[in-house]
């Protein structure tokens, strides 16, 4: 393997601790070189070899870094990604790519002009539950898919301890947060819709940011409903699909985040293996015979994303999640807010 890609993290909060540092650490093609931490210096408890910077500017000025991970609050994505690209670094930016389409388009142009990789970290493409849903559709097990419903729900009346998530500023709220995952999953399987309808609301007592949404994506015959709420104590299945031949019902069952939050490193042979009681139910017709069975969910693995980044930078292979794909998610989000505000269908 060629020289490791020296990588810097813009923060070491939840996403840095769970979703980025462990995978950069275990992948031999990367070196976790530097992290921005202004006070606690928690990174060095697990990765004592890492340099600590107390500012984003200091991180960007590190000439040894090839890759910067922008995993800071949503409203900073544009500013920090632009700074990293301007400094000549490849960039992974957390979802949502940007707050506005205009910001995303500017960053696309800058990355192209600099001939730098710009990728959006859509890790939920690498969840075990989503992977089996996508396979069922792509293998044609349901025939023409006609109706789809994706859920990402929580039960949490209290406001987040992360203050930046609970202020009424652009880029906050559940649509930008969990909605970015659901929208990306839908677009990756079914492509861009023709129209969008949305109902976006605030349900928690003291909240000033949206914490409920229902989006309906319109295709020729297919309708894809995306839903999320912070006040769902008893969740429905996360994936419900109906086609001309049959149905597939699946829980949200990927275990990676739970393991990562316990400090488990993603370097075991059975990493991300799904428990049999979480397997999805397939009820369809195959070769003229009605089949009703549970399909093994397989393994989720966010390391596959980082392998894709390594292959793109070192071997010239395709970007695993392009900035254009990230921008499409923002297009849907903007259309959704317009639809909810105006009470109508919005053309994409």
Burial of 191 (0-12, 13-18, 19+ CB in 10 A): exposed
326 in a domain, yes or no?
no
Same domain, 289 and 176: yes
142 in a domain, yes or no?
yes
pLDDT tens digit string along 201-254?
A: 999 998 999 999 999 999 999 999 999 999 999 989 999 999 999 999 999 999
pLDDT tens digit string along 41-83?
A: 899 999 999 999 999 999 999 999 999 999 999 999 999 999 9
pLDDT band per the 50, 70, 90 thresholds, residue 269 = confident
What CATH number should be reported for the domain holding residue 191?
Answer: 3.30.360.10
> DSSP readout, 38-87?
SS---HHHH-TT-EEESSHHHHHT-TT-SEEEE-S-GGGHHHHHHHHHHT
Same domain, 193 and 337: yes
Task: Say whether 117 sits in a helix, a strand or coil.
Answer: coil
Domain that holds residue 180: 124-300+331-347
Same domain, 163 and 53: no
Closest CA to 68 of 50, 84, 56, 55: 84
80 in a domain, yes or no?
yes
**Number of independent structural domains in the chain:** 2
15 in a domain, yes or no?
yes
> Do residues 133 and 219 touch, judged by C-beta distance below 8 A?
no
What CATH number should be reported for the domain holding residue 13?
Answer: 3.40.50.720
pLDDT tens digit string along 321-344?
A: 999 999 999 999 999 999 999 999
Same domain, 113 and 138: no
Same domain, 236 and 130: yes
Same domain, 156 and 235: yes
Burial of 57 (0-12, 13-18, 19+ CB in 10 A): exposed
Instruction: Compute the distance between CA of residue 163 and CA of residue 172 in angstroms, rounded to an integer.
Output: 11
């Amino acid at each position: 393997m060629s020289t490791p890609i020296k990588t810097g993290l813009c923060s070491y909060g939840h996403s840095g601790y769970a979703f980025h540092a462990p995978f950069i650490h275990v992948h031999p093609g990367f070196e976790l070189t530097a992290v921005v931490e202004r006070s606690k210096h928690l990174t060095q408890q697990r990765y004592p070899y890492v340099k600590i910077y107390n500012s984003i500017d200091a991180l960007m000025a590190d000439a040894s870094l090839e890759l910067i991970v922008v995993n800071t609050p949503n409203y900073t994505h544009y500013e920090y990604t632009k700074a990293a690209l301007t400094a000549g670094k490849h960039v992974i930016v957390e979802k949502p790519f940007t707050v506005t389409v205009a910001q995303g388009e500017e960053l696309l142009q800058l990355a192209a002009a600099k001939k730098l990789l710009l990728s959006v970290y859509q890790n939920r493409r690498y969840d075990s539950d989503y992977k089996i849903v996508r396979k069922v559709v792509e293998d044609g097990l349901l025939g023409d898919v006609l109706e789809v419903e994706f859920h990402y729900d929580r039960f949490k009346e209290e406001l987040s301890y992360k203050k930046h998530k609970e202020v009424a500023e652009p880029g906050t709220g559940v649509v930008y947060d969990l909605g970015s995952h659901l929208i990306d999953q839908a677009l990756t399987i079914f492509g861009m819709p023709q129209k969008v309808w949305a109902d976006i609301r605030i349900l928690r007592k003291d909240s000033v940011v949206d914490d409920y949404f229902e989006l309906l994506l319109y295709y020729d015959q297919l309708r894809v409903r995306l839903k999320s709420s912070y006040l769902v104590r008893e969740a429905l299945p996360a994936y419900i699909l109906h086609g001309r031949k049959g149905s597939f019902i699946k829980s949200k069952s990927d275990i990676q985040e739970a393991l990562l939050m316990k400090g488990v490193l993603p370097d075991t042979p059975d990493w991300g293996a799904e428990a049999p009681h979480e397997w999805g139910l397939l009820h369809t017709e195959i070769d003229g015979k009605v089949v009703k069975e549970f399909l093994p969910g397989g393994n989720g693995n966010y390391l596959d994303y980082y392998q894709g980044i390594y292959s793109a930078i070192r071997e010239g292979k395709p970007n695993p999640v392009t900035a254009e794909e990230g921008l499409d998610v923002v297009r849907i989000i903007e259309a959704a807010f317009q639809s909810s505000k105006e009470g109508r269908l919005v053309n994409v």
